């Protein structure tokens, strides 16, 4: 009986997310008609979901391990600014567009590793360590950019990242590839199993031989790396770097991960659920925009969805505890 419940729990959670997405699609079709269902609009929904989606994959690993990263939005802004400085663009013209990409990824990775060092080896609470990084990264981005928008003028970069293979933007394909890689890493590798174990019972994981500090460092590095990828997508979509890029992105990312079914307390994570959570919020935003509804109402709707998701998490957790006793 308990084994059956264990199998039914994830299926019910995924089913609920799929149903919620379908209901939003039905509402979109009913209220906006062809404007919603057009191919162009669907691609817009996916394109707008790409940044949040990519960063959410890294956040899923951090939250699954029992941590949190409040700095991802600021790191996206910092990476976009650093990758769009004149020095970086001159180097990109001399050596190739990949210099911009490597710069953004390196900035994100280094910021993530600093978070990991503070949390794992400095023994700072993840909330405080990443909050400090949020402030520092945003401030550094403003200093580098001089509070100005930095236009990217490297055509080969846009030739690559604004292309549309099979009619779908490259930035959407990046989201798909990162999500697939994240799913494989979490569900089919030792790294993923260790992440779940650390989040579920850190002491037992330590006794089992898992190097928790080093693993935590890697997890925050991964979150920073996905923030760097998000910065590349933003540069491709907006053609500019800005210290305001990624403002409040961390809230959308955490919301998508939690709504998707990853436990804030750690010990359970789902990449599929995270992707569905991202699509739910992106579709919701699109429906509101197409119907010219107030952004304040949209914020209230997002808040209600988050509360509902957390309450469902608690309900499922209580059922699973009962089924195992």
Q: What gap in Å lies between CA 263 and CA 36, rounded to an integer? A: 32
The reported pLDDT for the residue numbered 308 is 79
pLDDT at 1 over 50: no
The reported pLDDT for the residue numbered 303 is 85
Specify if 302 maps to a domain: no
**Segment holding 151, helix H or strand E:** strand 150-151
Specify if 180 maps to a domain: yes
By the 10 Å C-beta count (0-12 exposed, 13-18 middle, 19+ buried), 84 is classed as buried
The reported pLDDT for the residue numbered 212 is 96
Give residue-wise pLDDT tens across range 19-51.
889 999 999 999 988 899 899 999 999 999 999
Give residue-wise pLDDT tens across range 236-254.
999 999 999 999 999 999 9
- Domain of 118 in residue numbering reads as 48-270
The pLDDT confidence band at residue 321, using thresholds 50, 70 and 90, is low
CA atoms within a 13 Å half-sphere pointing along the CA-CB vector of 253: 31
Any alpha helices (H) in the chain, and if so which ranges? 2-32, 34-37, 39-64, 72-82, 86-95, 98-116, 126-145, 155-161, 170-188, 190-200, 202-207, 212-238, 249-259, 271-290, 295-323
Specify if 234 maps to a domain: yes
Number of domains in the chain: 1
Helix axes 126-145, 72-82, angle to 10 degrees: 30
The reported pLDDT for the residue numbered 317 is 63
Specify if 55 maps to a domain: yes
Specify if 312 maps to a domain: no
Specify if 286 maps to a domain: no
The pLDDT confidence band at residue 305, using thresholds 50, 70 and 90, is confident
Specify if 34 maps to a domain: no
The reported pLDDT for the residue numbered 82 is 97
The reported pLDDT for the residue numbered 214 is 97
End-to-end CA distance of the chain: 11
pTM as predicted: 0.93
Phi and psi dihedrals of 92, rounded to 5? -65, -35
């Amino acid at each position: 009986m308990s084994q059956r419940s264990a199998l039914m729990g994830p299926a019910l959670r995924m089913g609920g997310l799929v149903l919620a997405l379908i209901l939003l699609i039905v509402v979109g079709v009913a209220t906006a008609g062809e404007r919603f269902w057009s191919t162009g609009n669907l691609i817009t929904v996916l394109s707008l979901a790409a940044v949040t989606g990519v960063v959410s994959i890294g956040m899923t690993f951090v939250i699954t391990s029992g941590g949190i990263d409040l700095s991802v939005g600021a790191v996206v802004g910092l990476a976009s600014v650093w990758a769009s400085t004149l020095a970086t663009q001159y180097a990109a013209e001399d050596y190739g567009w990949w210099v911009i990409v490597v710069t953004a990824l390196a900035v994100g990775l280094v910021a993530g590793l600093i978070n990991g060092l503070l949390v794992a080896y400095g023994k700072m609470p993840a909330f405080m360590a990443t909050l400090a990084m949020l402030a520092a990264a945003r401030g550094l981005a403003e200093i580098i950019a001089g509070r100005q928008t930095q236009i990217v003028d490297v055509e080969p970069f846009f030739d690559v990242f604004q292309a549309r293979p099979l009619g779908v933007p490259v930035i959407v394909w990046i989201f798909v590839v990162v999500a697939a890689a994240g799913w494989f890493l979490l569900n089919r590798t030792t790294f993923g199993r260790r992440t779940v174990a650390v989040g579920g019972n850190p002491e037992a994981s330590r006794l089992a031989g898992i190097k928790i500090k080093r693993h935590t460092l890697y997890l925050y590095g991964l979150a920073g790396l996905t923030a760097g990828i998000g910065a590349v997508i933003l540069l491709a979509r907006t053609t500019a770097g800005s210290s305001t890029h990624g403002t409040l992105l961390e809230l959308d990312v955490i919301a998508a991960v939690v709504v998707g079914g990853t436990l804030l307390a750690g010990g359970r994570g789902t990449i599929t659920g995270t992707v569905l959570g991202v699509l739910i919020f992106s579709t919701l935003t699109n429906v509101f925009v197409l119907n010219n509804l107030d952004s304040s109402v949209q914020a209230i709707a997002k808040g209600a969805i988050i509360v509902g998701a957390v309450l469902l998490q608690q309900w499922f957790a209580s059922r699973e505890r009962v089924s195992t006793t």
